[in-house]
């Protein structure tokens, strides 16, 4: 449950920081993302990595988290947004299947 709330907060702060260039919004976005990654890792350790769908979701989250560090140039924001959308789709699929 914590990772869902943190995902929504990270999305909200990320969208707001795209339109408003406040440093506090960016820091809130990063903080929500860190909480999100930590909470999903704790969940994965609790279930002993047996739920493969959540492992894939966790990998997508890690990709979203490190994508601004890996991708340089103009495609940095685009790749971050595309990976975030892919992560949301993955989360929806995890809960449907």
Closest by Cα among 45, 58, 46 to 7: 58
Categorize the per-residue pLDDT at 78 as very low, low, confident or very high, splitting at 50, 70 and 90.
confident
pTM (two decimals): 0.76
Q: In the prediction, which pLDDT does 19 show?
A: 82
pLDDT greater than 80 at residue 3: no
Domain count, the chain: 1
How far apart (Å, rounded) are the C-alpha atoms in residues 83 and 97?
Answer: 21
Cα separation, 21 vs 6, whole angstroms: 21
Give yes or no for residue 51 having a pLDDT over 80.
no
Residue 14 pLDDT greater than 80, yes or no: yes
93 with 53: CB under 8 angstroms?
yes
Once rounded to an integer, what is the mean pLDDT over residues 68-76? Answer: 83
The answer to whether 90 and 56 are in contact (CB under 8 A) is yes
Segments forming the whole domain that contains residue 40: 2-96
Round to whole Å and give the CA distance between 47 and 18. Answer: 35
Residue with tokens 């999305």: 11
């Amino acid at each position: 449950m914590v990772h869902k709330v943190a995902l929504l907060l990270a999305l909200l702060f990320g969208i707001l920081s795209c339109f408003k260039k406040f440093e506090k919004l960016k820091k809130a976005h990063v903080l929500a993302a860190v909480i999100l990654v930590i909470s999903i890792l704790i969940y994965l350790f609790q279930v002993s990595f047996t739920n493969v769908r959540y492992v894939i979701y966790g990998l997508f989250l890690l990709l979203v988290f490190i994508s601004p560090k890996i991708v340089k140039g103009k495609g940095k924001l685009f790749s971050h947004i595309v990976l975030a959308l892919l992560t949301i789709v993955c989360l929806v699929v995890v809960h449907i299947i």
